[in-house]
Amino acid sequence: MASLEGLSPVCELPDPMTTCDLIRPHDLSPADAQSWRDMAVATPDFRSPLLSPEFAQAIAQVRDDVWVAIYRRNGQTIGFLPHHRRPGRLARPVGAPFSDYTALITAPDPVITIAEALRLARIDRFQVIGLIDPYGVFGDIGGDSDDACGIDLTQPLDHIPHKHAKNINRLRRRLEEQHGEVRFITPDRNPAHFDMMLRLKREQARTTGLHDFLGPTWVDALMHQLFAAPSEGLRGQMLTLTAGGKGIIFHYGVRLGDVMHPWISSFDPAFSAFSPGQLFLAGCADVLKADGVNYYDLSTGEQHYKNAFGNTHRVVTHGRVYGDTTGGRFSARTTAWAREAGQSLPPRIVEITSRLNRRVDQICALELNAPDRLKGLWRAAQAMPQRLKSPEGRG
């Protein structure tokens, strides 16, 4: 059982009107859970399943370090920050590294800053993945900018260039001529397809030198738990493209309401000559709409194909923010010093260091004990020369 490091579950700022309750996700009152959902409805930027109370509760079923900071002013709820509490007063977004987005869920005009929010929750450092900050709570955190893509299925999908669409149609016809009818299955509840999807992705990780992000026990439990979840509420959903009845490419992720967020894209390499990823994204819209999905969130990474098919784009930021605490201020100064020192290094060294830091952060988020982290870091060091020769991406 994770601890609160000896803290009272209720912390106060010098202003007694603003308080923070630290609770487990499954201890959310119905009123607080509904307030969280209402904030997401009021602010479309918060509509991702990854920012929902249901997602925090799902992660809490497979990990014991999940907490929710609930901020109140004069007794009125003003925000929610779900997170993992890690040693050394470090926190990560709940579900990291599968939490492709980070946000402090608030109503408009939240009257709180992230530095204050972290001080309330006794957090010195908070790792940020894909920051969504519509009300400026986080301010300018520096960090690395990234482009998040999605497919808004309520809008006309006429943005694919004619020449590109013509080539995709040619590939599809050739695939059907050689292997049989091409069609989609969603939701695909076939356990054999689910196992194949996981196996192909783990094989890809080994081949490309990526960390096996599906290997940790808690991740495996989460994937299976969501796949078995009922069709109401938060659940895992798989979308499969088949040729002649054989699954050739799979997207799997989390769905809540009319929004789906795929995490995993895996394909049978025997069909790579047919560009299955392009066939998938070019043809998935109609079947998703028929299944009630209005937004298919492709998030960040592998932009060489997402940009071609996504019709929504927004800039998000990856980085680290600091609490208004003694430890937080010290960490912020140390980070600023390291950033300044890095400016004098050759660009190639800066790139390598940045990529290595991202890999270390991912391994530390996935592996929860020292031996597994050391194994992961050792494998990452061995694979680094191979990874530097190819585009980075978790997939």
| Structure tokens given for 107 | 């109503």
Mean predicted confidence (pLDDT) in 353-369: 86
- What Cα–Cα distance (Å) separates residue 89 from each residue in 1, 102, 195, 335, 367? 16, 18, 37, 16, 18
Torsion of CA 219, 205, 249, 190, to 10 degrees: -40
Strands 295-299 and 259-267: parallel
> What DSSP string runs through 154-201?
TS----S-HHHHHHHHHHHHHHHHHH--EEEESS---HHHHHHHHHHH
Tell me which of 324 and 309 has the higher pLDDT. 324
Percent of the chain past pLDDT 90, that is, above it, reads: 71
User: What pLDDT score was predicted for residue 384?
Assistant: 65
Reply yes or no: is the peptide bond before residue 187 cis, omega within 30 of 0: yes
Q: Is the peptide bond before 97 cis (omega within 30 degrees of 0)?
A: yes
Closest alpha carbon to 393 in 284, 277, 280 = 277
The predicted structure's pLDDT at residue 303 = 58
Mean pLDDT of 58-66: 98
> Pairing relation of β-strands 66-73 and 90-93?
unpaired
Write the CA distances from 284 to 79, 160, 193, 261, 269, integer angstroms.
Answer: 36, 14, 18, 14, 20
Q: Model confidence over 138-174: pLDDT tens digits?
A: 999 988 889 999 999 998 877 777 888 899 999 999 9
CA angle 257, 263, 267 (to 5 degrees): 120
Please give the torsion angle defined by the CA atoms of residues 149, 155, 157 and 160, in that order, rounded to the nearest 10 degrees: -50
SS3 of residue 30 by DSSP: helix
| Least trusted range by pLDDT, from 35-39, 180-184, 265-269, 341-345 | 341-345
The pLDDT assigned to 302 comes to 66
Which of 28-32, 131-135, 157-161, 370-374 shows the lowest per-residue confidence on average (mean pLDDT)? 157-161
71 forms beta bridges with 20, 79
CA atoms of 201 and 262, how far apart (whole Å): 13
Question: pLDDT value at position 327?
Answer: 95
The pLDDT of 99-119, averaged and rounded, is: 95
| 233 and 54 Cβ atoms separated by less than 8 Å | yes
Which pTM was predicted?
0.90
Q: How confident is the model at residue 385 (pLDDT cuts 50, 70, 90)?
A: low
pLDDT at 161 (0 to 100):
77
Instruction: State the average pLDDT over residues 329-349.
Output: 83
pLDDT at 304: 65
Residue 12 has pLDDT above 50, yes or no: no
Instruction: Tell which wins on pLDDT, 340 or 23.
Output: 23
pLDDT of 24 strictly over 70: yes
pLDDT in tens, 270-290: 999 999 999 999 999 999 999
Residue 102 DSSP code: B
- Pairing, β 182-185 against β 66-73: unpaired
What span, in angstroms and rounded, lies between the C-alpha atoms of 98 and 226?
13
pLDDT in tens, 223-250: 999 999 998 899 999 999 999 999 999 9
